[in-house]
Amino acid sequence: MSMLLKFYPWVRPLLFSMDAEAAHHKTLHALNKAAAGGFCRHLLSGPVPEAPTTVMGLTLKNPVGLAAGLDKDGAYIDGLGLLGFGFMEIGTVTPLPQAGNPQPRLFRLPRAQALINRMGFNNEGLSAFVENVKASQWHQQGGVLGLNIGKNASTPNSKAVDDYLQGLTAVYPYADYVTVNVSSPNTESLRELQQEKELSYLLSQLQERRRELADAHGKQVPLAVKIAPDLSFGQIDRIAEVVSAHALDGVIATNTTLSRNTVQGLPHAREKGGLSGLPVHALSLQVIRRLRKSLAPDIAIIGVGGIMDAEQAREKMLAGANAVQLYTGLIYKGPQLVRDCVRALAK
């Protein structure tokens, strides 16, 4: 067992004594330092069970991935690559740099094994993002990397397609797959782009641009869309119809929730933003099951939201997901969660 896996239970109280966002950056910075040093890298990385799988035409070492949002700028790819993921998704990136919402904007709810964030797509913009991806040794050595694109907060929804087209064009040459984020609750009106008419128009424009880019770069990069857990069955069915009509390769289900039903009365429960962690697991399962009934088998579903142990990863797969992603579970359980999930899914 690596040092990182062995000592995380002792390190977590120290991290939880710090401001959540500060602890986040300190942890990622330490991982990057470890990735850059051969001796530390050997001590911190550990063996991961073999569980190869194919998702969206991509061959993954295992079906356990990193969810978008943890590394918005792609600045920590190599450090996170030590943890044993079969694939990682970074972003969300917007065309122009933006500061996001005022701090504090990230809150822990330990009794619920949850987080609330209202980050607001804080990132350094496409240029810095692409340079970070190009510099990643993990990606150059065959790590499968998804790049997640969004729109700037200052861009009205009527012009949103321009931001997404700019994002797709910039990241396409360097992406193993691209995710279209229309489901963050922290950019005003963004979720309106999940509505049938708006989503159909956006995806049609992106597919047309993807055809042009495929010709120009000589490769077809899979395209996925990330949706919210706060959708009715009717809304999920319409999204599935749009996804099928525009021949997308996958759906990421789901983003964070606006619901507070399971955390009422807890400290920070009334903070604005998206709730992630254990309370989202049941919501995302509902979305995955409904999608799987409507989508053809060749359209992948990546299940994300509230995976805190290996059994919940299995539940996502049994509900119809082809792969899973982790985020909040890593904060509460540590990097051993990756290996536990891979081991369970390998069986």
CB count in 10 Å sphere of residue 200: 17
The average pLDDT across 339-343 equals 96
What whole-number distance in Å separates Cα of residue 302 and Cα of residue 320?
A: 9
Split at pLDDT 50, 70, 90, the class of 8 is confident
Rounded to the nearest 5 degrees, what angle is found at the Cα of 293, between the Cα atoms of 287 and 297? 110
Q: Phi first, then psi: give them for residue 187, nearest 5 degrees.
A: -115, 120
Instruction: Please say if the pLDDT value at position 39 is more than 50.
Output: no
The whole-model pTM stands at 0.96
CATH number reported for the structural domain that contains residue 203 in this entry: 3.20.20.70
| Termini Cα distance of the chain | 20
- Quote the domain boundaries for residue 67: 3-346
Instruction: Please say if the pLDDT value at position 170 is more than 90.
Output: yes
* pLDDT reported for residue 49: 85
Active centre residues (catalytic): 184
Overall number of domains in the chain: 1
* pLDDT reported for residue 41: 52
* pLDDT reported for residue 208: 98
Lowest mean pLDDT among 34-43, 150-159, 234-243, 287-296: 34-43
Lowest mean pLDDT among 47-61, 230-244, 280-294: 47-61
* pLDDT reported for residue 347: 83
* pLDDT reported for residue 36: 86
- Provide the H-helix boundaries in 137-295: 137-140, 160-171, 196-217, 233-245, 281-294
CB count in 10 Å sphere of residue 272: 12
* Average pLDDT over the chain, rounded to an integer: 95
* pLDDT reported for residue 37: 76
pLDDT 10s digits, 64-94: 999 999 999 999 999 999 999 999 999 999 9
Q: Answer yes or no: are the C-beta atoms of 99 and 189 closer than 8 Å.
A: no
